[in-house]
Amino acid sequence: MCTEVSAGRSNTAYDRPFISLSFLFFFASLFLFAARVQAEDLNLQQLIAEALNNSPELLASQSRTSASEYRIPQAKTLPDPTFSFGYQNDGFKKYTYGQSDDAQWMFSASQTFPFPGKLALKGDIAARESESTYAGSEAIRLKTISRVKELYFDLYTAYKNIDLIHERTSLFNRVEDAALSRYSTGKGSQQEVLMAQTEKYMLLEKEEMLRQKIQSLEAMLNSVIGRSVEAPLGRPVETKPSSLAYQLSDLIKIAYERSPEIEAKDKMIAAAEAKVSLAKKDYIPDFTITGGYFARGNDFQDMWSLGAAINIPIFYRTKQRHAVNEANALLAEARSEKESTRLLIASAIKDNFSMLKATDKLMSLYREGLIPKSRQDVELSLSGYVTGTVDALTVITRLKSVIDFEISYWGQFAEHEKAIARLEAIAGLSGITTDSQAGAK
């Protein structure tokens, strides 16, 4: 009898702080739930559409593209004509207009005409640069989609892990009840009770860390889609793992053909080639036509004039020749940058493709082997603990293992979907996945 009373007091003393902690976490979770109750479930496609409409980075790139288009007609237009006027007087003593044949008002206008082909080349350069800017904007669009997907699946995984913790807490409750029962009958030690309770509340600690991670992910996702960082977001909807419809060699080939980054480099090469041609044409002079009118007044007959001028590139050895060398160097740079971009894209595709294949295998291993076997092992060890054939440490260790396996599964799920999202952006594809027949875990 004394043993039972002592046990009862001891259990109450040790349970009190844990019970208080439980209520604290419960009300905190309830508060967070109430704050999100108005938010709708997150739909990935809707988030992507919103990001494409409101992303500040994407809007900036689109404005940059518009600005580059406005430069094309400017580059193809003749230089502004000039107009000049003046007065010529005969002597300094008085105003002699109309009294002297040398006194006159003078008006003239001139227009410079670049050598034929120069304006067309300037327009071509501006057009190629504008096309490069547009391709760069398209690359930002694909990266924005990829970023939304990455944050979405990180958020999805965080919620799934919280669900998992809630589900597995009941198993720790069973261990705790069994430990209390064994302790009250003298078959177990008080340390077993504390061990089970500690592990249970460590799960609550992990849940709170996940909720903090959710808030951080929501802030980043809101930033990408152009919302206030404090705007409420709901929970991602249930989704299935995606499968890749292409092999590695196919993806690299598609990327070389469709990648906006490579296309941007191609346009810069075209612009650089046009600059070389323009630099060579600067050896040929431009010409300026000037017309003048001279008003003399009274009976003096007015006069007019017409003339032409050309610039003489006599300093071609230090000017035009080096301009051509500069343009050729920039062309070589553009070609090297394209080759560097091709190599980086191939490397990134291989890296993400390898990650995708690894996550496929690990998800299958967790789903079909480790998790179901670990769950069976937990049930058997828990039954053994109740009957006294298995110790508490073994039960808790095996229960922690199954939780770790399940968390790892969802971590691999997120990396799997993120790898596909990155491959879409790198290869310049809007969608390269098909739903697999396997449902979500």
Domain boundaries, the chain: 2-435
DSSP, collapsed to helix, strand or coil, labels residue 131 as: helix
- Give the pLDDT of residue 421: 92
Tokens representing residue 266 in the block: 């191609």
pLDDT in tens, 297-346: 888 899 999 999 999 999 989 999 999 999 999 999 999 999 999 999 99
Strand order in the sheet with 287-295: 82-88, 104-113, 287-295, 303-310
- Give the pLDDT of residue 182: 66
Concatenated DSSP letters for 346-377? HHHHHHHHHHHHHHHHHHHHIIIIIHHHHHHH
Q: To which H or E segment does residue 60 belong?
A: helix 56-75
- Mark residue 369 as left, alpha or beta (left: phi above 0; alpha: psi -120 to 50; beta: remaining): alpha
Tokens representing residue 379 in the block: 């049930």
Concatenated DSSP letters for 140-188? HHHHHHHHHHHHHHHHHHHHHHHHHHHHHHHHHHHHHHHHHHHHHTTSS
Give every residue of the chain whose pLDDT is below 70, as ranges.
1-40, 175-177, 182-192, 196, 385-390, 392, 430-441
pLDDT in tens, 218-258: 999 999 998 888 888 888 988 888 887 889 999 999 999 99
Q: To which H or E segment does residue 242 belong?
A: strand 242-244
Concatenated DSSP letters for 70-97? HHHHHHTSPPPPEEEEEEE-SSSSS--T
Say which CATH topology domain 2-435 has.
Answer: Outer membrane efflux proteins (OEP) (1.20.1600)
323 and 137 in contact (C-beta within 8 Å)?
no
Give the helix ranges, DSSP H, for 226-313. 248-258, 260-281
- Give the pLDDT of residue 201: 77
The reported pTM is 0.79
- Give the pLDDT of residue 80: 95
Give Rg (Cα) of the chain.
38
| Angstrom distance (rounded) from CA 314 to CA 206 | 78
Specify the DSSP class assigned to residue 1.
Answer: -
